Copies of this chain bind each other. A is one copy, B any other.
Amino acid sequence: MVIPTEDGSGRAPYAPLVTLGEPDLEALARGCAIFGGGGGGDPTLGYVMAREAIRRHGPVTVVDLDELPDDGLVLPVAMVGAPTVIEEKIPNGSEGGRIQAIYERHLGQPVVALAAAELGGIEGMLPVAWAAHAGLPLADCDLMGRAFPEIHMCTPTLHGLPIGPVVVTDERGNVATFTSVDAAWAERLVRPTCAAMGSCASLAIFPMTAVRARAVAVRGSVSRAVRLGRRLEAEAGDPLAVLAAELGAVRLIEGKVADVERWTTEGFARGSAVIEGFGEDAGRLLRLEFQNENLLALLDGEVVASVPDVITILDQHGAGAVVSERLRYGQRVSVVAFPCHPAWRTAAGLQLVGPRAWGYDLDYVPVERLHATHG
């Protein structure tokens, strides 16, 4: 339900772009799974958490950053850890309020809106649950325009903004606060804390004013995910056509999962998968490598997509996206890739999250150019 922004009396404190009730939650979950690129955790759990919160506290208003007061504090939130663990060690609901209170005390001003630190899987849904609990709007933005495995891989890092204080908490009530010399050090310190907390924790990063967020965040991502989710639902018969039209997605292969290797280390779900083509792709092999998120796709040994572009696997039965930790031998899937946010294609963006940042000795080529060559 999109309500156009209106001036005049009688309107809500913020003109909502989207009011997330139960129907749009499903659309958001569907969209977040696509943007997750295999990471961010299965959105089902996030969907259930958000639905319960909305049933209890009412729908969540998604607002444009322009609607928020310039100096209002926007808090990007996320879960951190191995998605394989997040699904079994569920937050108990107290985490968001605890984190918010710490920032408000520390920074001496109220939080005016929550935001998603990343938009993928559960990470896109959790902020909805927290916003419902807190009675706060959700800003229509995120800090990646997709999901990445490490917490410093956010657009504000490209602008040199401080990531901290980073506040991390677990379902027991332990709290760790980090102020680091740079964003990469925050990742190095938060990751083992998350592992000690049981390989999964809740956090907030890059607390910032709305005026700052307007300049550095990926804007419009929540409403975009809802729109995509709605259209995927409406045109369920041909998800690839929807993704091509909405995201410029290219089809990499259709096939069966022939091999999956996966291990949970250092708080990450790492691994690789091989997909054996069928139909018009018969005889072709796609190899995928992932660290929570899909990082690299090789078709018959040639790179056909790489980070920071988004590589997403669709289940051919459910038409929904499949997260890395759900990938199974014999599953029939389509693999697509689509362009990342332009911020990641700059020199600074590629230095932070391009192929070499993951140890792949190859130059990044935008997926649409690779496709023009190979397609």
Please choose the segment from A81-89, A181-189, A257-265, A283-291 that sits at the chain B interface, where 4 or more of its residues have CB less than 8 A away: A181-189
Q: Which residue of B lies closest to A102 (CB)?
A: B179
**In the bound complex, do residue B189 and residue A181 qualify as a contact, i.e. CB atoms below 8 Å apart?**
no
Q: Which residues, 158 to 192 on A, are CB-close (under 8 Å) to B?
A: 172-181, 185, 188-189, 191-192
Choose one: B173, B174, B189; the contact of A176 (CB below 8 Å).
B189
In the complex, whether A215 has a CB less than 8 A from a CB of chain B is: no
Please give the count of copies of this chain that the complex contains.
Answer: 2
In the complex, whether A211 has a CB less than 8 A from a CB of chain B is: no
In the complex, whether A193 has a CB less than 8 A from a CB of chain B is: yes
A173 / chain B contacts, CB cutoff of 8 Å: 181
- Chain B nearest CB: distance from A374 CB in Å? 41
Choose one: B175, B180, B181, B191; the contact of A179 (CB below 8 Å).
B175
The interface on chain A, measured as residues whose beta carbon lies within 8 A of the other chain's beta carbons, has a size of 19
**A176-B178 Cα distance, complex, nearest whole Å:** 4
Instruction: Determine the main DSSP class of A at the interface with B.
Output: mixed
Q: Which residue of B lies closest to A194 (CB)?
A: B192
A181 / chain B contacts, CB cutoff of 8 Å: 172-174
A189 / chain B contacts, CB cutoff of 8 Å: 174, 176, 193, 196-197
A196 / chain B contacts, CB cutoff of 8 Å: 188-189, 191-192
Choose one: B172, B177, B188, B195; the contact of A177 (CB below 8 Å).
B177
**In the bound complex, do residue A172 and residue B192 qualify as a contact, i.e. CB atoms below 8 Å apart?**
no
Choose one: B175, B179, B192; the contact of A178 (CB below 8 Å).
B175
Beyond A174-B178, A176-B189, 19 additional pairs, beta carbon < 8 A: A172-B181, A173-B181, A174-B179, A174-B185, A174-B189, A175-B178, A175-B179, A175-B180, A176-B176, A176-B177, A176-B193, A177-B178, A189-B193, A189-B196, A189-B197, A192-B192, A192-B193, A192-B195, A193-B193
8 of the cross-chain contacts (CB-CB < 8 Å) are: A174-B189, A175-B179, A176-B177, A176-B178, A177-B177, A177-B178, A189-B193, A191-B196
A: residues with CB less than 8 A from B are 172-181, 185, 188-189, 191-193, 195-197
